[in-house]
């Protein structure tokens, strides 16, 4: 796991985080009925190029897209394709960029004219779980305090957290130690120290926690085919609490 050692490294992580957030927010605005996930992926590629960064995903273990777009019962790692977004769906988008040697990773789930109150509650709860997890990313806490806050938030609302995919340390590489499960008891794992940079990412299912990987080798689906939501921030543990690096600023 990277522990930021200098002001310079922190500034570079901040920059990568802001760029990832910028791409995420621009793509969120383009999500609409009739738009294909491939078109959104192309827009993300154009934007990354214009901003002077590149996709952290393209070519990662052979991943063919610039971003991930996962609809309804697709949990994460949906590959952009000709499928068009429809009213009533939820679309999870995950954006990772590399800039100046450092990675920013962020995700959000967008509701496209959703009227089912349970689905609305799922999406809101998953975002709340992220906020609760991030709030625990402060010096002196243990890593699993983050995990436990996420699981508690999801289960209090009657939902389940995915167990087969986890958050992670992040820095010069997208996936660094440690793994950050979205479940488990508090008070375990490494003590958090200023300068640690973490990607915190609850994946919450409306039904059961079980998932399966589709035949394409990437797309993760809920086993019961009920919807799933995903939110992610890259966060730095600071002296006085967490600093969210993937927050956009007035661009």
| Chosen from ligand MF3, Co ion, none, partner binding at 63 (C-beta under 5 to 8 Å by type) | ligand MF3
Helix (H) or strand (E) holding 197: strand 197-200
Residue 60 in contact with ligand MF3, rule: CB under 6 A? yes
Instruction: Show the site string, 165-204: x = touches ligand MF3 by CB under 6 A, - = not.
Output: ----------------------------------x-x---
Residue 94 binds to ligand MF3 (criterion: CB under 6 A): yes
Listed in sequence order, the residues at least 6 apart from 71 whose beta carbon sits closer than 8 Å to its beta carbon are: 37, 78, 83, 85, 89, 90, 91, 92
What are φ and ψ of residue 93, in 5° steps?
A: -120, 140
Distances, alpha carbon 121 to alpha carbons 106, 153, 163, 183, in Å:
21, 12, 20, 20
Q: How far apart are CA 202 and CA 181, in angstroms?
A: 9
Q: Does 73 participate in binding ligand MF3 (rule CB under 6 A)?
A: no
The yes or no reply on residue 26 touching Co ion (CB under 5 A) is no
User: What is the spatial distance between Cα 187 and Cα 25, in angstroms, rounded to a whole number?
Assistant: 34
Q: Partners of 238 in the beta sheet?
A: 241
Identify the residue among 26, 72, 74, 105 touching ligand MF3 (CB under 6 A).
105
In angstroms, the Cα distances linking 107 to 94, 137, 140, 149, 215 are 4, 18, 27, 19, 23
**39: partner contacted, choices ligand MF3, Co ion, none (Cβ within 5-8 A by kind):** none
Q: Which stretch binds ligand MF3 (CB under 6 A): 41-49, 61-69, 133-141, 241-249?
A: 61-69
Q: Which residue number, 85 or 108, has a Cβ lying nearer to Co ion?
A: 108
Return the number of the residue (108 or 123) whose C-beta is nearest ligand MF3.
Answer: 108
**Structural contact between residues 54 and 48, judged by C-beta atoms closer than 8 angstroms:** yes
105 contacts Co ion (rule: CB under 5 A): yes
Does 133 bind ligand MF3 (CB under 6 A)? Our answer is no
Interface residue with Co ion among 73, 74, 94, 132 (CB under 5 A) is: 94
Check residue 58 for interaction with Co ion (CB under 5 A).
Answer: no
DSSP 33: T
Per-residue binder mask for Co ion (CB under 5 A), 195-214, x = binder: ----x---------------
Contact partner at residue 77 from ligand MF3, Co ion, none, CB < 5 to 8 Å by partner kind: ligand MF3
Task: Tell me how many degrees the CA angle 130-173-108 measures, rounded to the nearest 5.
Answer: 30
- Residue ranges in contact with Co ion by CB under 5 A: 94, 105, 107, 199, 232
């Amino acid at each position: 796991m990277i522990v930021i050692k200098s002001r310079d490294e922190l500034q570079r992580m901040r920059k990568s985080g802001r760029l990832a957030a910028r791409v995420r927010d621009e793509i969120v605005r383009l999500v609409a009925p009739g738009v294909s996930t491939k078109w959104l992926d192309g827009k993300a590629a154009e934007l990354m190029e214009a901003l002077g960064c590149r996709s952290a995903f393209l070519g990662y273990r052979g991943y063919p897209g610039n971003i991930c777009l996962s609809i309804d019962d697709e949990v994460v790692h949906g590959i952009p394709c000709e499928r068009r977004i429809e009213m009533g769906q939820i679309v999870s988008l995950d954006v990772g960029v590399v800039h100046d040697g450092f990675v920013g990773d962020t995700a959000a789930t967008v509701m496209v004219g959703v009227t089912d109150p349970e689905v609305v509650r799922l999406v809101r709860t998953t975002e709340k779980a992220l906020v609760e997890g991030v709030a625990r990313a402060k010096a002196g806490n243990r890593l699993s305090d983050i995990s436990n806050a996420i699981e508690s938030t999801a289960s209090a609302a009657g939902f389940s957290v995915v167990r087969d995919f986890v958050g992670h340390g992040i820095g010069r590489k997208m996936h660094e130690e440690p793994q950050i499960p979205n479940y488990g008891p508090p008070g375990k794992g490494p003590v958090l120290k200023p300068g640690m940079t973490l990607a915190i990412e609850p994946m919450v299912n409306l039904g059961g926690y079980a998932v399966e990987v589709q035949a394409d080798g990437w797309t993760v689906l809920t086993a019961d085919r009920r919807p799933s939501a995903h939110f992610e921030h890259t966060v730095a543990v600071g002296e006085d609490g967490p600093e969210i690096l993937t927050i956009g600023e007035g661009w």
